[in-house]
Amino acid sequence: MKEKLEQFFRENFEDAVIRTDYFRDQLSFYLRPEYLFEVCQALMADNDLEVKMLSDICSLDWLGDPEEADGRFEVIYNLYSLKHSYRFFIKIRLSDDKPEVDSLTSLWHTADWLEREIYDLMGIKFIGHPDLRRILTADDVDGYPLRKDFPLTYEKPRFSYNKDGPPEVIT
Amino acid sequence: MSEKAVPRRKTMNINMGPQHPATHGVLRVELELEGETVVKATPHVGYLHTGIEKTAESKLYYKVIPMTDRMDYLAPMSNNLGFCLAVEKLLGIDVPEKVKYARVCLTELTRVMSHLVWVGTHALDIGAMSMMLYAFRERELIIDLYEACAGQRMMTTYFRIGGLASELPPDFDQKIKKILKRIPEGMTDYERLLTDNKIFRNRTIGVGKISAEDAINYGLTGPNLRGSGINYDVRKANPYSGYEKFDFDVPLGRNGDVYDRYLIRLEEMRQSLKIARQALDGMPEGPYRASVPGVVLPLKEDVLSKMESLIFHFKIITEGFKPPRGAVYQAIEAPKGELGYYISSDGSNKPHRMRVRPPSFINLSALPRLVEGQMVADVIAAIGSIDIVLGEVDR
């Protein structure tokens, strides 16, 4: 399956792949963010690979690490092929000034809540998400808790007290 | 005039929860109702958010283990197992055979324990009050075993990176044999109470249906996915901790409704007991922890008698260990579905990021799909059938 995937990327998306990584039997492809949607769509449609399951999406913040040079945020798509029992990862790097990437909600329903969670905790915007709201924290929390520069102790978590958008009152 | 001609649909918004007993925790479902029919359901989660993923970033690796069993508190051992396996994978170490067998044995009993709570509370939601008392009666046996092993009844924290916290208790065999004898007896009771019960069948058959394709697209795992007939079990697909050596079957459903998920969980309990029996019979002798100096805690007897072990013990407790840079993902088959830990290391003694793939969270996101177009009472059955634990949903 590893060879098949590498071949798939070599034949179809040679420009999209920045580098591949193989650590502890896990294959990861670092992609350019603008190709993400296309690649996932093609992976899903490929009859041989049959990557039908988006297992998880998670995000990292590389602030203060040498890795930050490639982009501060990393979004990791955990894809699984039920046919081959094979798991691999697609990773993209986003810069601090524009943490935005295409949403995968139109391909997988799983992406809906997972992307909301990342938006909530890491502050990455998913373009085209139908309902991008905070999911785990309160609606009026300032900042994004999983970022490395989020104040941990001695400072109170900040709330905006709904200054910008008062909550809708249901009558 | 034209506005009048089209009658406006009258719907009513109702909050189910967050303090509703049948939501298994603090889950709020905003229901838009047209009469008794659910037009739209919007789950709201986050009431129990404790930031476990963030807290893990400021703790040494071994200090994260106690936090993991506070996520899915009904299945503590499988949470510990997932985390320990992930860190072991990151470090590239292997554990002794005995540890693998003991882990499999205890994790399978965790599955039985979790499913017992599930079958009890689910039946209670639907109206079969007495089921819960029977299920909790049998669960007590497993809790007793955990207490003998770890000294704790629920938050066990018994697995350590590279092994177990302590030697298995001397009456381990007898305790498990008692469980293996008593739980199947109890299960015949449950089946007599529920499986052919007319009310139970009416409340569950054809309710909360999801097709195989949708189930995959929604990322469902565990009994919820297998209820729709997809054969995906992490224990079979990507074996970990020596599961390839055990002989067991993966039950599959056909209709993908609440009743199928019930049947699957009942059969899974039987299979789990079968695995636990094999693990107990085949358990080899050996140390309860791997011997990897500087990474895995030395055995307690050695710490008390040997200088080097004492030094290593002190260094691991105070400084921890430093895994290589890199990221690993380890999935296990938890009672609720695929539980995964994604651990990214930056070479320091604390995780750079620990991400949990919570099966309950992702299964819950399919709830609107399960209940829309059905009756209000079916929402209760559907929430119960996907088996969520809010501690894990919100983390």
- Amino acid (one-letter) located at B377: A
Model confidence band, residue B87 (pLDDT cutoffs 50, 70, 90): very high
Of B219, B295, B215, B197, nearest in space to B255 by CA: B215
The rounded distance, in Å, linking the Cα atoms of B255 and B229 is 8
Which of A40, A41, A67, A80 would best serve as a mutation to test chain B binding (most B beta carbons within 10 A)? A80
Proportion of chain A in helix, strand, coil states, percent, rounded to 5: 25, 30, 45
Task: Please report how many Cα atoms fall inside a 13 Å half-sphere around the Cα of residue B349, on the Cβ side.
Answer: 13
Helix or strand (DSSP H, E) at B16? strand B12-16
Cβ atoms of residues B187 and A78 within 8 Å: no
Domain-located, residue B186 = yes
Given an 8 Å threshold on Cβ–Cβ distance, is B357 in contact with A56? Answer: yes
| Rounded mean pLDDT, B215-223 | 90
Cis amide bond preceding A130, omega within 30 = no
The pLDDT > 70 percentage for chain B reads: 98
Domain-located, residue B286 = yes
- Using CB atoms, which residue from A76, A82, A135 is nearest to B232? A82
pLDDT score at B1? 47
The rounded distance, in Å, linking the Cα atoms of B289 and A9 is 42
CATH architecture for residues A2-127: 2-Layer Sandwich (3.30)
pLDDT score at B342? 93
B316: CB partners within 8 A, 6+ apart: B62, B294, B295, B296, B297
The rounded distance, in Å, linking the Cα atoms of A62 and A70 is 9
Q: What is the pLDDT of residues B18-31, one digit of tens each?
A: 877 777 778 888 88
Domain-located, residue B119 = yes
**Ranges assigned E (strand) in B45-120:** none
DSSP state of B40: E
Q: What is the CATH number of the domain that holds B151?
A: 1.10.645.10
Q: Which residue of A has its CA nearest to B390?
A: A136
Q: What is the pLDDT of residues B275-289, one digit of tens each?
A: 999 999 988 888 888
Domain-located, residue B218 = yes
Domain-located, residue B28 = no
Given an 8 Å threshold on Cβ–Cβ distance, is A138 in contact with B46? Answer: yes
pTM attached to this predicted model: 0.89
Given an 8 Å threshold on Cβ–Cβ distance, is A136 in contact with B45? Answer: yes
Q: What is the pLDDT of residues B149-203, one digit of tens each?
A: 888 888 888 998 988 888 889 988 899 999 999 999 888 888 888 888 888 888 8
Domain-located, residue B211 = yes
In A, residues 31-50, which contact B (CB 8 Å cutoff)? none
Task: Please report how many Cα atoms fall inside a 13 Å half-sphere around the Cα of residue B113, on the Cβ side.
Answer: 26
C-alpha distance from residue B316 to each of B156, B159, B309, B310 (Å): 21, 16, 10, 10
Backbone angles phi and psi of A159, in degrees to 5: -125, 145
At residue B184's C-alpha, the angle toward residues B152 and B221, to 5°, is 70
Domain-located, residue B8 = no
How many independent structural domains does chain B possess?
A: 1
Ranges under pLDDT 50 in chain A: none
Cβ atoms of residues B321 and B294 within 8 Å: yes
List chain A domain ranges.
2-127
Q: In which domain, by residue range, is B163 found?
A: 50-358
Domain-located, residue B228 = yes
Given an 8 Å threshold on Cβ–Cβ distance, is A114 in contact with B362? Answer: yes
pLDDT score at A163? 62
| Rounded mean pLDDT, B234-253 | 89
Residues of chain B with C-beta less than 8 angstroms from the C-beta of A109: 214, 217-219, 365-366, 369
What are B327's strand-pairing partners? B344
> Complex ipTM above 0.90?
no
Q: What is the pLDDT of residues B360-392, one digit of tens each?
A: 999 999 989 888 888 888 888 888 888 888 888
Of B34, B123, B23, nearest in space to B364 by CA: B23
pLDDT score at A164? 66
pLDDT score at A16? 81
CA dihedral angle for residue B303, residue B102, residue B238, residue B274, rounded to 10 degrees? 180
Residue B238 has pLDDT above 60, yes or no: yes
Cβ atoms of residues B387 and B361 within 8 Å: no
